[in-house]
């Protein structure tokens, strides 16, 4: 009897060990097969993003033709006011966290719980970069796992300045408008390096819903958000100027 019990326990241990090995193997497989090579982004700019391709596919499915306004510029040619405004509006702890703002995630979860629906995300700039570059808009645990892995990889391989440069150059700022340079020219008829603090705050205010809001059509929500961002810009020092090589 004791021998049978001992054999049964041994089998359970073997099954548990096999299950653990399979789980670890599956994670490693997903890492190797599904992880993009983000290290290439150190020196190479993306030719397109998953978000751009998704928008194009949506337009084609609806029988529409959507042009793409997009011009890449280095971080040094983007107004420091816009850099500052986007960080203040989207991810205030960007320069100190390692990809995830845990306080922001907790606050968003509590807000959504009280609201009874998903209204606030709490995503950092690095997470938004991962989603825009590589992921679909579907909401699933698998997609969230990929977002988490890609976010960690971006933080490990790239500097904060490069992450911000990438984000500012691929962020959606209207129908078919991508990046700070195209946004500045589309909405204010000027290059992004010449944006004022006021104009930068309007562009940063658009980011939660860039295809819905337009700084030339000032809704009450957009105005309140703009005023809050502008106050944050006014009382914080301007971000240091990066070199042309960044």
Give a yes or no: residue 17 inside a domain.
yes
Do residue 55 and residue 8 come from a single domain? no
pLDDT at 65: 78
| pLDDT above 50 (res 245) | no
Do residue 100 and residue 5 come from a single domain? no
Do residue 21 and residue 137 come from a single domain? no
Do residue 201 and residue 143 come from a single domain? yes
CB neighbour burial string for 21-48, b if at least 16 within 10 angstroms, e if fewer: eeeeeeeeeeeeeeebebeebeeeebee
| pLDDT above 70 (res 109) | no
Question: How far apart are alpha carbons 88 and 106 in whole angstroms?
Answer: 18
Give a yes or no: residue 242 inside a domain.
no
Do residue 29 and residue 141 come from a single domain? no
**What pTM was computed for the model?**
0.77
Do residue 182 and residue 224 come from a single domain? yes
Do residue 116 and residue 10 come from a single domain? no
Question: Domain of 196?
Answer: 43-234
What is the number of domains present in the chain?
A: 2
pLDDT digits (tens, 9 = 90+) for 188-216: 999 999 999 999 999 999 997 777 766 66
| Phi and psi angles of residue 217, each rounded to the nearest 5 degrees, phi first | -120, 90
pLDDT at 117: 46
- Cα of first residue to Cα of last residue in the chain, in angstroms, is 72
Please, are residues 210 and 174 in contact by the beta-carbon 8 Å criterion?
yes
Give a yes or no: residue 106 inside a domain.
yes
Q: 155 vs 3, which has greater pLDDT?
A: 155
Give a yes or no: residue 181 inside a domain.
yes
The burial class, CB within 10 Å (0-12 / 13-18 / 19+), for 17 is exposed
């Amino acid at each position: 009897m004791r021998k049978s019990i001992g054999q049964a326990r041994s089998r359970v241990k073997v099954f548990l060990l096999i299950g653990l090995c399979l789980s670890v193997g599956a994670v490693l497989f997903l890492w190797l097969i599904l992880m993009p090579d983000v290290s290439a982004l150190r020196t190479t700019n993306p030719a397109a993003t998953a978000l751009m391709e998704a928008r194009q596919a949506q337009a084609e499915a609806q029988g529409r033709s959507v042009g793409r306004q997009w011009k890449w510029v280095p971080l040094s040619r983007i107004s420091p006011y816009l850099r500052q405004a986007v960080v203040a509006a989207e991810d205030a702890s960007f320069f100190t966290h390692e990809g995830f703002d845990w306080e922001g995630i907790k606050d968003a979860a509590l807000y959504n719980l009280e609201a009874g629906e998903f209204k606030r995300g709490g995503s950092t700039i690095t997470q938004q970069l991962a989603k825009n570059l590589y992921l679909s808009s579907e909401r699933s645990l698998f997609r969230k796992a990929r977002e988490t892995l890609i976010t960690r990889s971006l933080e490990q391989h790239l500097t904060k300045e490069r992450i911000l440069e990438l984000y500012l150059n691929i962020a959606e700022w209207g129908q078919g408008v991508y990046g700070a340079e195209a946004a500045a020219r589309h909405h204010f008829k000027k290059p992004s390096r010449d944006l004022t603090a006021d104009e930068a705050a309007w562009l940063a205010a658009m980011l939660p819903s860039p295809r819905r809001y337009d700084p030339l059509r000032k809704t009450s929500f957009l105005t309140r958000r703009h005023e809050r961002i502008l106050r944050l810009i006014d009382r914080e020092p301007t971000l240091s100027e990066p070199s042309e090589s960044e």
